[in-house]
Amino acid sequence: MRGIRLTGIAAVAALGLAVAGCTGSGTTTVKPAGNGTSAAGGAAAGGAAAGGASAPAGAAGPAVTITPANGAGNADPSKGITVTASGGKLTDVTVRASGEPVAGSYSADRTAWHSTWALNVSTSYTVTATAVAGGGAATTKTSTFRTLTPSSTFRTEIIEGYQQTYGVGMPIILYFSHRITNRAAVERALQVTTSKPVIGAWYWDDSCGMAPTCAYFRPRDYWPAGTTVSFTGHLDGVEGAPGVYGTHTLTQEFTIGRSVIAIGSTRTHSTQIYVNGKLTYDWPISTGRPGDDTPNGSYLTIEKANPVEMKGPGYDLMVPYSVRFTWSGDYYHDAYWSVGEQGFENVSHGCVNLSPAHAEIYYNMAVPGDPITITGSPQKGTWDNGWTMWFLSWPQYLKGSALHEAVVAGPDGSTFVNPATLPPDTARAPLQTAPPGNANAG
């Protein structure tokens, strides 16, 4: 039977607007090396200079340029901060807003420094930079500016709940309140940290039905069981569409639990349940009758309830031990009324019917994100009818990335890499990854 959609699992959005006020003045000091002091800089990716006012080097001191320039009152936060030195090398760059340091990194030759992430909107920043010339003279420059206040903003929600446990197929799911067109910029701002090494990618979806734009991070293969995942969206100041800026940094932490994988065959009328890679249960089932066929595909459990009210032509039932895997109302559930047909005949309205005892066992172990693969059906699966990210092969999934790059994540964070540089994939379906072509009709 197909059921009424429940309210869903908890979606947690860690959203916050940072508004800061700092004071400072644009100054340039030229002095012999060794006589001045400055604070240490940050760490991440280098950049190049553009615009800004240069400090005259005088006889020996290098020229230091800070962009945005001192006194700027409507700086574009998406462009970040760039500091360059001409005639010398940068020794220290410090950036602060509301007393908080801003991360960034030097170029290889230390003639440039660039902030790592976009700057916060509506915020004052103070930058202090010191460069030393080959002759020993040092230049220190300070610049204070303020970023713009956007007239249009977007907000982002994440499905995962704080320190909740999810199945090995669970993607990171983001909902954006505005249609995102500058996807490459947003994708670069998304960081994934994992307790175990993971290869994955982002995928953009405008047809998800939950928000104007959705984005999903999915591992190349199922998550390693027991992985702790931390997500940070450095979205404050990112221009997601022309004139539309993010105004918050989104964070979340969750855990991947044990591996619980269900394989259900509409032809053999049976389902196998694998726990941590071992066949633990083999149960008779009844799936959708002709015309109401349960569709093929590698789905994920979405939510569960005991009971769920299920309505359709000629029926209105409270159904115990129901675990949902499509938005249209397909469940693994207790079907005490069809026990005689289970294992022999497909008689349901599309759900996977189990005996009361078997349904209770599966219900008690299931968490959102556990893979369910339906095979043997004459009905193909429909994209976005549920969490269908595993319908796609890895090459197909990569095409959905705005950067067309893979993500390599670990305890120190994540980096984007050329997929051609990745090690070969040795995972095997259906226990380590989804079977290829799983949504095709049987």
Is 208 annotated in the active site?
Answer: no
Of 333, 349, 358, 404, the active-site residue reads 333
Q: Given the structure tokens 């992430």, which residue do they identify?
A: 117
Both structure tokens of 404: 């067309």
57, 160 Cβ separation under 8 angstroms: no
Told to judge if 269 belongs to the known catalytic residues of this protein, a careful annotator would answer: no
Q: Which class for 133: exposed (0-12), middle (13-18), buried (19 or more C-beta within 10 A)? A: buried
- Name which of 40, 357, 425, 377 is nearest 219 in CA terms: 425
239, β-bridge pairs: 245
Which of left, alpha, beta for 122 (phi over 0: left; psi -120 to 50: alpha)?
left
Contact 89, 111 (CB under 8 A): yes
Burial call 298-323: b when 16+ CB within 10 Å, e when fewer: bbbbbbbbbebebeeeeeeeebbbbb
Q: Which residue(s) pair with 334 in the sheet?
A: 354
Task: Let me know the angle formed at the C-alpha of 407 by 402 and 413, rounded to the nearest 5 degrees.
Answer: 125
Q: Among the options 114, 208, 349, 351, which is catalytic? A: 351
Active site residues: 333, 351
